[in-house]
């Protein structure tokens, strides 16, 4: 089955590049690996019958948010490995705790989610999403637009010159 | 068709990688990228259950999560720029004014 081959190939890409994000010391390499991981996740969205959200994933996440990350990393000139070493006890507790958490998560997923295969294809084109968004979810949609406006104002205020105390006084 | 459980397990693995990175790294921006990784893992879970139960609500939630992640990224990165202006570093251990 070609579908399963695509799933395993892109799942492997997503996991490998996610590991590069957390293991590589250069944040630029981490950000670019995260873009690759997000592209692989967009393929997963296509496999889940949601091509509109796959397009949003590529445009919004890989296109906009990660470019913002890269801009900030390059603006702060962080690519020369200025990160100090983590304490060994923190490293050990982090790896051990997250490994335990992940194993428990996968164990309970395998044990308790016995799901039937869904019947037939799932119709979720942009039209159906738009109708649902503007009928049932119109109030949260407007709230999100206000939230984005507040985020723009907050980001300008925090990163502008007014945030420095000697200028604010 | 690919079973829904496989997507859930992939999502669990990606979420765990995000948790691990968040706990073991000290660079603020890398920790932030790990948060984005966890957010995407949860998005994958939403979409997997949306297809499983043929509900559009999961897709709408992914839409909102993307909008909130964009707002969070803008404000968070602005905080890191401000922190860098004050302290010349984005090591999160250095920002310890409100610790303990």
Cross-chain Cβ contact B6/A45 below 8 Å? no
- Residues of A with Cβ-Cβ distance to B91 under 8 angstroms: 83-84
Q: What percent of chain A has pLDDT over 90?
A: 48
What's the whole-model pTM score? 0.89
Phi/psi-derived region of residue A125, left when phi > 0, alpha when psi is between -120 and 50, beta in every other case: beta
Q: What is the dihedral of CA A75, A76, A81, A86, to 10 degrees?
A: -140
What's the token pair of residue A132?
Answer: 């649902």
CB contact under 8 A, A50 and B59: yes
Using CB atoms, pick whichever of A53, A69, A140 lies closest to residue B77. Answer: A69
Give me the average pLDDT of each 10-residue run along chain B (100 residues).
88 94 89 94 93 88 93 91 82 74
Q: Cα(B59)–Cα(A50) distance, rounded to whole angstroms?
A: 8
Do A147 and B67 form a contact (C-beta atoms < 8 A)? yes
> Is A64 in contact with B70 (Cβ distance < 8 A)?
yes
Whether A169 has a pLDDT exceeding 50, the answer reads no
Strand partners, B27: B91
Quote the pLDDT of residue A164. 53
Q: How confident is the model at residue A167 (pLDDT cuts 50, 70, 90)?
A: very low
B97/A contact by beta carbon, under 8 A: no
The residue of chain B with its CA nearest to that of A49 is: B51
Residue A132 is inside which H or E element, if any? helix A126-135
Instruction: Take residue A130 and report the two structure tokens written for it.
Output: 């738009």
Minimal CA separation from A86 to chain B, in Å: 7
CB A103 within 8 A of CB B15: no
- The pLDDT tens digits for A44-79 are 999 998 889 999 999 998 889 999 999 988 888 776
């Amino acid at each position: 089955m070609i579908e399963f081959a695509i799933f395993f190939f892109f799942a492997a890409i997503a996991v490998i590049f996610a590991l590069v994000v957390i293991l590589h010391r250069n944040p630029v390499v981490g950000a670019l690996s995260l873009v690759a991981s997000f592209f692989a996740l967009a393929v997963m969205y296509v496999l889940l019958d949601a091509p509109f959200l796959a397009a949003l994933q590529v445009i919004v996440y890989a296109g906009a948010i990660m470019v913002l990350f890269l801009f900030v990393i390059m603006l702060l000139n962080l690519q020369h490995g200025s990160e100090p070493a983590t304490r060994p006890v923190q490293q050990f507790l982090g790896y051990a705790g997250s490994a335990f958490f992940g194993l428990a998560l996968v164990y309970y997923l395998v044990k308790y989610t016995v799901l039937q295969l869904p019947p037939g294809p799932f119709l979720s084109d942009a039209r159906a999403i738009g109708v649902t968004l503007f009928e049932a979810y119109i109030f949260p949609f407007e709230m999100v637009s206000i939230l984005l406006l507040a985020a723009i104002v907050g980001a300008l205020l925090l990163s502008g010159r007014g945030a420095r105390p000697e200028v604010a006084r | 068709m690919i079973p829904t459980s496989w997507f859930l397990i992939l999502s669990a693995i990606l979420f765990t990688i995000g948790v691990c990175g968040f706990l073991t790294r000290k660079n603020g921006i890398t920790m932030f990228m790990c948060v984005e990784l966890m957010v995407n893992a949860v998005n994958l879970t939403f979409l997997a259950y949306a297809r499983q139960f043929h509900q559009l609500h999961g897709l709408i939630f992914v839409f909102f999560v993307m909008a909130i992640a964009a707002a969070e990224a803008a404000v968070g990165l602005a905080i890191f720029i401000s922190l860098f202006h004050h302290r010349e570093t984005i090591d999160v251990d250095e920002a310890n004014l409100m610790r303990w």
